[in-house]
Amino acid sequence: MTWLKMILLSIIQGISEFLPISSSGHLVIVESLLDIQADQTDVNIVLHAGTLISILIFYRRTIYRLLSQDFRVIPLLIIGTLPVVVIGLAAKKYAEPMLESTLLAGCMLPITGLFLLTIPHIPQKEQSYTEISYKQALIIGFAQAIAILPGISRSGSTIVTGLLTGLSRQSAATFSFLLAIPAIAGATILETAEILSNPHMSTPLSLLAVGMIVSAIIGLAALWLLVRWLEKGKLQYFAYWCIPLGILITIMQFI
């Protein structure tokens, strides 16, 4: 792992974790095309930690209200996290090679694009994320679990599902990223446990620190852009990146 590769991975993680283009899909594609080993456990930890920091900073006031006033949302987040825990652990145990498939990422990216193209056709509602039901939280949670597949955007699938269940645009984004906190934190804890069981780290600490800082900074910018574009009704434009890229990558796998 070189400085250039780490910075490149950090930028990709920071952008694609929040913009609806699939971070896992892009990392798998970059690893395949440029021969970058993006699956190193210590690298994964710092990239996830960086994007987790982005969410905590960007939604700091919302998180404060969550812990001081909006207590009702906490069990909703727990319910919404259950699908990704169950499906994620099962996928990691029984289908991990599939999660690193470039072909699968190529096939799934156009599906993400099709999700995004539905946004302009979803009637705008005004429901707040503090008012959603447990059923809504569980449905959005399943949308997050589907995003375990490389090429399916976590932010895209959960925001679109939130809109379909009646949330306002801002609340759909807020609940999506609040739901990301336990999911990303859980992935980070699991990867940390792997390192503790095998304490040898192949990547220097200075390189890991830079990766975390860069992914956090880029992630903050990406979060700001996503919320602005969603409010302006422009999130579907990312479909015009996901669909052609997915088709191109899929074709390349058969050449």
Model pLDDT for residues 6-54, shown as the tens digit of each residue: 888 899 989 998 999 998 899 889 888 877 654 465 777 788 889 999 9
Region 136-156 average pLDDT: 95
Contact present, 177 and 223 (Cβ < 8 Å): yes
In degrees and rounded to multiples of 5, residue 167 shows phi and psi of: -75, 150
Q: Identify residue 89 by its one-letter amino acid code.
A: L
pLDDT over threshold 90, residue 217 = yes
Q: With cut-offs at 50, 70 and 90, classify the pLDDT of residue 201.
A: low
Q: With cut-offs at 50, 70 and 90, classify the pLDDT of residue 79.
A: very high
pLDDT over threshold 60, residue 123 = yes
Give me the pLDDT at residue 187, please.
77
Using CA atoms, how far apart are residues 67 and 84, in angstroms rounded to an integer?
23
Region 143-149 average pLDDT: 93
Give me the pLDDT at residue 41, please.
59
Q: Identify residue 145 by its one-letter amino acid code.
A: A
Region 108-119 average pLDDT: 96
Region 162-182 average pLDDT: 95
Global pTM value: 0.90
pLDDT over threshold 90, residue 130 = yes
Region 197-204 average pLDDT: 65
Q: Which of 114, 124, 227, 113 is nearest to 177 (CA)?
A: 227
Using CA atoms, how far apart are residues 234 and 117, in angstroms rounded to an integer?
10
pLDDT over threshold 90, residue 237 = yes
Helix residue ranges per DSSP H, the chain? 3-18, 23-34, 41-58, 60-68, 73-94, 102-117, 134-146, 154-164, 169-197, 205-231, 239-253
DSSP state for residue 237 in the 8-state scheme:
G
Give me the pLDDT at residue 33, please.
81
DSSP state for residue 1 in the 8-state scheme:
-
Using CA atoms, how far apart are residues 143 and 157, in angstroms rounded to an integer?
6
